[in-house]
Structure 1
Amino acid sequence: MAWRAVFTALEAVCEENITALSGPTDLLCGNASGRLLTCMRKIQDHGRALEPVVAGFTAVYHHFDFDADTPGNGYRTLVKVLQSCLLHIIHKGRYIASNCHRAFFRANHNASEMEAYSSALCQLRALLYLAQRLLHDNGHGQLYSLQDGELSRRFVREYTSMHKACFYGRCLGFQFSPTLRPFLQTVVISMVSFGESYGKQQSGLGMAAFSFLTSAKYVIDPELRGAEFERITQNLDMKFWKSFWNLTESELLSGLASVASNLVQLNLTLTIPPEPLRLPLASDPRLFAPVSPPVAHWGPGPVNMRLISYELREGQDSDELLAFSRTEATPISVSLVPFGAQKHPPSPWLLIHFHGGGFVAQTSKSHENYLKSWSKDLNVPILSVDYSLAPEAPFPRALEECFYAYCWALKNCHLLGSTAERVCLAGDSAGGNLCITVSMRAIACGVRVPDGIMAAYPATLLTIDASPSRLLTLIDPLLPLGVLSKCLNAYAGVDSQAVQPTEGTSTLSALGRDTALLISDLTHGASNWIQSFLPAEVLGSLSSSHQKSLDNEAHYRSTSPSSSSSNSSSGPRDYPEGFEPLRSERLAVIQTPSCPIVKNPFVSPLLSPDDLLRGLPPVHLASALDALLDDSVMFAKKLRDMGQPVTLRVVEDLPHGFLSLLGLAKETQVASDICVARIREVFQQQTPPPCTNKQPKLERTNHGPSN
């Protein structure tokens, strides 16, 4: 429905309900009638105020797209989310107007439903006003305000005090595909139940059992669920998030996922010892470049990987490869080579994968479901890297391990069932960042660069700089700003201490440690490592101070909107007179990354000088209705403006992390198929593709690519 038609329908529904509710209330509880009447009048006021705001955005938001064939940016997404909220209100309002005087009408229930959406509409109105400020202050076509720290500080101040619980109760997931909402509700209920038992002296299974028993009240009471989720996302530490996210690594859940996933003939975990490598120079294969093993923070250490192959290929059952095989704490996910399996010749292709998880959680096991599917669809061996995780292993440890794994794979492709004639890097979220930075490091070291990159919803800017899509962290159940900032701080080494893994312990078993020490600022090792790659003028710019951290609750109160009247004299107000968003009773504490390392090009590729990006292979980006959408749009524009080959696809109605939701909805399968098609394009492309995003055949179809 066009946006003007939505507002017309909203006005009609509000008038219809106001008329119906103002009449006789013999069958309608007087209190509920009053609540509904007040609510509909508030919604009507919000709608009338928002219509000109939306008109302003729709007139200009196309200027922020990657190109005319790729309609997607944070401004568009905010309008789309608002429209989704209004459509829910219209649907519910029509039901209330038609049934409010019937005998079995659930007056209190419907009043609560409409009040929840009224609150959500109020908060979305506030977000659109903040986006108006971004639109006014940012440069033409710019989605981030990288030079204006005040805009970002204002965004963080607003986030800390704005009410968010309404988005996690009755309205949970309204902006996403309807088929995903039951899953999102399950995730949120599991999270708040887990949070209630978190910190108690229980085993993992005991905690899970307690969480299951306490989850019923959060199903029955959506308002309680929303309030508890708001508390958790704002105040619990990184240790909680690592523990919750790593539940997917448990034997029970990983076993269930394995049952539902494709069967593969090889699923082998490997531990590669830290031995120096020598790779031929890309410019002159007669010369070699040394590649050192990972050394950051605690010295040389092994790198853990997982090899997945739908078909058994030559080399994959060799004694040399099996010598690297390691024992997992959860061997249920490891498939041994089937006895008597037919061996196929090596594939000319090799896919190297870096998993997501905010740099702090999960492993290749969490991503097995779609990796097995990809291995079957592409008929290609996949090497997924289990890099060390923050905060125990902050930057640059993960990047060093991923780059070493990439170089090892090139040198030992014969063991992986591939000739590596074409090599593609693939990753999601944090893994997408690592795909880009590993390729940048390959360029800097002069070794072979991969033939292409497929990065799904990558994090290319690891700061809390404001953008329209990042305003969505106020309502996103999978990526709230409080959680995002904790992940960024952990990877940047802010308030953390590197901890060397126990000798002989794999990455997977290390995830079970209940340690997430938050002690001191650690940046020196990374800064020294990076200096050899950057020109002097770039080093000078990196040493400039970043935005000041607002980590004191008293300071938040002094700068919160309760004192907006005094602040408004020094600059324009964010909101028009007479409007104020709903405020939370408890303030979030958001510590913004303040050390120079967050502006390091190998941490935030969006901030890279052109010299570090020139020479990248074709980059294929995929994003969604996601707080990191603007990261992808701006990075794609940066590469295009340099003449680098790049494509961007924005899928609709799916959240951040949609690859891990493969199998839950038709839409997630379509999105995965798009990623597979891009990877296949890398493998089959004989020459670098032109700098274009036009793929007419793919864009017109929703079917998976043929094998």
Structure 2
Amino acid sequence: MSVPSDMDHKDAFAALQAVCSDVIIALNGSPNSSHGDYTDRILGVMRQIQEHGRSVEPLITGFTSVYHHFDLDAETPGNGYRTLVKVVLSCTTHITQKARYIASNCSGPFFRMEHNAAEMEAYCSALCQLRALLYLAQGLLNDNAHGQLLSQEEGGLSKKFVQEYISMHKACFYGRCLGFQFSPSLRPFLQTVVISMVSFGENYKKQQTGLGIAALSFFTSGKYVMDPELRGSEFERITQNLDMQFWKSFWNITETELLSGLCRIASSVVQVNLTLTVPGEALSLPLASDPSLSVSVLPPVAHWGPGPVNMRLISHTLRQGQDSAELLAFSRPEGPQLSLPVTFNRQTSPLSPCLLIHFHGGGFVAQTSKSHENYLKSWSKDLNVPVLSVDYSLAPEAPFPRALEECFYAYCWALKNCHLLGSTAERVCFAGDSAGGNLCITVSMRAISHGVRVPDGIVAAYPATLLTTDASPSRLLTLIDPLLPLSVLYKCIDAYAGTGSQTIQPAMQLDTLAALGHDTMKLLNSITQRANTWFLSLTEQKEPSLPSSTTSSNGILTSAPRTEDRPQESREYPENFEPIRSRCLVDLQTPCTPIMKNPFVSPLLAPDNLLKGLPPVHLVASALDALLDDSVMFAKKLRNMNQPVTLSVVEDLPHGFLSLVQVCKETQEASDICVKRIREVLQQEEPSPAHRQPGLN
């Protein structure tokens, strides 16, 4: 992870102070200074930025002097402390660039005083909140053991961080400042996601299916494009208050035939894309330690008893077995698309010695292999191997351990039936992202505990290795992350842990083109009213401040909750500082159950004997991901056990970057790193005997 040197960050803060002074001088001498209120607002915010800069600089200096102690090694710089420094410097850089524009153009006739005042106020608010995160991180640094990134103290800062998350103003990070820390090529996409989410939330729980809500949301999105402050405050409300069903519905919008069909246009063409349903029947596999003996693998049974397991087979090339009647007997139709034309005169390639088994992300609560098939198609083409992606049952309807049981069963079924999948399974690699990365590790641990052959390697992208509420410097980013806010992370953990939920067998998904007809009448009935409301909202006069904000004496937008709404004073903050508080308060329920510390839920807590038999583990993390420290600490644990492990940290990308592979070149390059690691696993010359047991015909 590339970080500025000590001299660089000192230069950055010196430039910040200088340009703020330049703006103050320029405005005082500008003919536009007659714009009274707006000029005063910019002058006030510049002085406030200078004060934040003077306080933040020594904090950054302190972190840069010690953060290398928390890296995996000298060749792999990356941890949450480095990330916080990177984010703060990114914010100050944006402020410096915008301030230079103001200093150079404030005297011009076309200078928009109101717009630039709002811009600087938003970034000043962001810098204030980042300053608060630095104080919290300083508390972690003081309390944790040397090299420890996660605060595993009962209560302590982890509890205080939750209290701060509830009360701290976050809307500034979802309005004008949205995505400032990420690659510039991603920011338009992030804006689209946030606007879509806010519009979707406005129409949530109306009598529509997901596709209908998405269509209606189009007509409410205009006001959130025009009013960044409204967008930010509404996003803050949604992330803290709406239930898990909302997030499942929103994330599954990409599953609709209409949207997935559009994505499919840009994806690689494959000859095989089959959805399979495998009945739950007991399997017999050779024992890894003694192939002359066998071990019985039972079907998944948690919560509602034995049931089938769904999978998707993707193969760039049609191989032997993939067009067999035996495999096609497991296939199921998927919408209007026929996954594999049955043509018996088609030429088939021989069986591949390799097989890639994939577990998708989605927080254990949403998405399927369909959401991830675009990059899986590319992987199958680049690696020239069949890919089997497992569509495990989702929480909260199917909490732990149902997903783990289904993924393990799918792996065992694949070993036994690899000849149907176009492979001899001489070399098998697990791959997964986020929740899927967790399952790559835990399924391998389950294979060890059952005596079944383990895969030849694991490639896990930004995996969740610790599903507890422990704080870490990178997890502090959940306060500003538009894709992984803390409240959403907690909802996913709570759902997977099964806290307070009633498990039922999941129903078939309804968000298909068949639902479009049901939605059409309701859409047509409300289209005129929605359109009129939207256009009226564009012409209404907007207040320059946040709906829940007031303007302080120095002209800076600040949230001003009642005294009784403020949390108790925290020792993390100096006496002369208080972060901006929000009126959007919620009683965030902190997940708390022993299941969270189960090693098959949180593999970072697994005993050595379960991790000792793991194959080589390749972790691919993002420097700006809230779960970065999960990967760093898991890599450290494996290395301390002399287990083979690598860690790659990519720059400027958010959590979930594999699903964004078609958005920009940076996400494609990150995907290429995953492909490189998978190729290393599949092309290793001599897998160990315990790892290599060909599938049974």
Give the alignment's TM-score, normalised by structure 2: 0.89
Distance 1:375 1:342 in 2: 18
Distance 1:506 1:45 in 2: 53
Write the letter of the residue equivalent to 2:365.
Answer: V
Equivalent position of 2:353 in the other structure = 348
Distance 2:639 2:106 in 1: 56
Q: Quote the offset at 1:600 in angstroms.
A: 0.2
What are the equivalent positions in structure 2 for 1:371-450 lying under 5 Å apart?
371-450=376-455
SS of the residue corresponding to residue 311 of structure 2 reads strand
Distance 2:387 2:455 in 1: 14
Does the C-alpha gap of structure 1 residues 493 and 26 become closer, same or farther in structure 2, counting only changes over 3 Å? closer
Write the letter of the residue equivalent to 1:359.
Answer: F
- Is 2:442–2:603's contact at 8 Å kept on the other side of the alignment? yes
- Is 1:387–1:507's contact at 8 Å kept on the other side of the alignment? no
Q: Quote the offset at 1:203 in angstroms.
A: 3.7
Write the letter of the residue equivalent to 2:451.
Answer: G
- 1:94 equivalent to 2:92? Answer no
What are the equivalent positions in structure 2 for 1:161-240 lying under 5 Å apart?
161-240=167-246
Write the letter of the residue equivalent to 2:136.
Answer: L
- Is 1:494–1:595's contact at 8 Å kept on the other side of the alignment? yes
Distance 2:680 2:195 in 1: 40
Does the C-alpha gap of structure 1 residues 229 and 299 become closer, same or farther in structure 2, counting only changes over 3 Å? same
Write the letter of the residue equivalent to 1:654.
Answer: L
Write the letter of the residue equivalent to 1:576.
Answer: P
Equivalent position of 2:43 in the other structure = 37
- Is 1:255–1:332's contact at 8 Å kept on the other side of the alignment? no
Equivalent position of 1:497 in the other structure = 502
SS of the residue corresponding to residue 260 of structure 2 reads helix
Distance 2:593 2:76 in 1: 35
- Is 1:269–1:326's contact at 8 Å kept on the other side of the alignment? yes
Deviations 1:351-409 (A, max 9, x none): 00000000000000000110000000000000000000000000000000000000000
Equivalent position of 1:267 in the other structure = 273
Q: Quote the offset at 1:149 in angstroms.
A: 2.4
- 1:155 equivalent to 2:161? Answer yes
Deviations 1:536-570 (A, max 9, x none): xxxxxxxxxxxxxxxxxxxx999975431xxx5xx
Give the alignment's TM-score, normalised by structure 1: 0.88
- 1:579 equivalent to 2:572? Answer no
Q: Quote the offset at 1:336 in angstroms.
A: 3.3
Structure 2 alignment gaps of length 5 or more: 516-560, 689-697
Deviations 1:209-260 (A, max 9, x none): 2100010000000000000000000000001000000000001110001111
- Is 2:211–2:256's contact at 8 Å kept on the other side of the alignment? no
Write the letter of the residue equivalent to 1:630.
Answer: D
SS of the residue corresponding to residue 615 of structure 1 reads coil
Distance 1:559 1:433 in 2: 41
- Is 2:256–2:511's contact at 8 Å kept on the other side of the alignment? no
SS of the residue corresponding to residue 353 of structure 2 reads strand
Equivalent position of 2:71 in the other structure = 65
Equivalent position of 1:615 in the other structure = 613
SS of the residue corresponding to residue 651 of structure 2 reads coil
Does the C-alpha gap of structure 1 residues 293 and 241 become closer, same or farther in structure 2, counting only changes over 3 Å? same
SS of the residue corresponding to residue 601 of structure 2 reads coil
**Larger mean Cα displacement after TM superposition, 587-596 or 450-459:** 587-596
Write the letter of the residue equivalent to 1:264.
Answer: V
- 1:131 equivalent to 2:137? Answer yes
Equivalent position of 2:264 in the other structure = 258
SS of the residue corresponding to residue 291 of structure 2 reads coil
Distance 1:574 1:647 in 2: 35
Aligned mate of 2:466, from 457, 461, 464: 461
Distance 1:559 1:460 in 2: 38
Distance 1:479 1:613 in 2: 28
Equivalent position of 1:476 in the other structure = 481
Deviations 1:81-106 (A, max 9, x none): 01111110000000000011111100
Does the C-alpha gap of structure 1 residues 508 and 351 become closer, same or farther in structure 2, counting only changes over 3 Å? farther
Distance 2:649 2:384 in 1: 26
Equivalent position of 1:697 in the other structure = none
Equivalent position of 2:311 in the other structure = 305
Write the letter of the residue equivalent to 2:294.
Answer: F
Distance 1:580 1:337 in 2: 67
Equivalent position of 2:375 in the other structure = 370
Distance 2:398 2:654 in 1: 28
Write the letter of the residue equivalent to 2:144.
Answer: N
SS of the residue corresponding to residue 348 of structure 1 reads strand
Q: Quote the offset at 1:338 in angstroms.
A: 6.0
Structure 1 alignment gaps of length 5 or more: 513-555, 690-707
Equivalent position of 2:692 in the other structure = none
- Is 1:267–1:336's contact at 8 Å kept on the other side of the alignment? no
Aligned mate of 1:286, from 282, 292, 295: 292
Equivalent position of 1:636 in the other structure = 635
Distance 1:636 1:341 in 2: 46
Distance 1:332 1:211 in 2: 27
Write the letter of the residue equivalent to 1:623.
Answer: A
Distance 2:611 2:640 in 1: 12
Write the letter of the residue equivalent to 2:639.
Answer: R
Write the letter of the residue equivalent to 2:675.
Answer: V
- Is 1:255–1:333's contact at 8 Å kept on the other side of the alignment? no
Write the letter of the residue equivalent to 2:28.
Answer: S
- 1:678 equivalent to 2:677? Answer yes
- Is 1:3–1:83's contact at 8 Å kept on the other side of the alignment? yes
Deviations 1:580-622 (A, max 9, x none): 0000102133221211000000000011111111110000000
Distance 1:671 1:333 in 2: 31
Distance 1:339 1:162 in 2: 63
SS of the residue corresponding to residue 308 of structure 1 reads strand
What are the equivalent positions in structure 2 for 1:588-627 lying under 5 Å apart?
588-624=586-622, 625-627=624-626
Q: Quote the offset at 1:199 in angstroms.
A: 1.1
Q: Quote the offset at 1:337 in angstroms.
A: 5.1
The count of corresponding residues between Structure 1 and Structure 2 is 635
Distance 1:204 1:151 in 2: 39
Write the letter of the residue equivalent to 1:385.
Answer: V
Does the C-alpha gap of structure 1 residues 506 and 227 become closer, same or farther in structure 2, counting only changes over 3 Å? closer
Write the letter of the residue equivalent to 2:230.
Answer: L
- Is 2:358–2:390's contact at 8 Å kept on the other side of the alignment? yes
Distance 1:189 1:397 in 2: 34
Write the letter of the residue equivalent to 2:132.
Answer: A
Distance 2:16 2:174 in 1: 23
- Is 1:310–1:379's contact at 8 Å kept on the other side of the alignment? yes
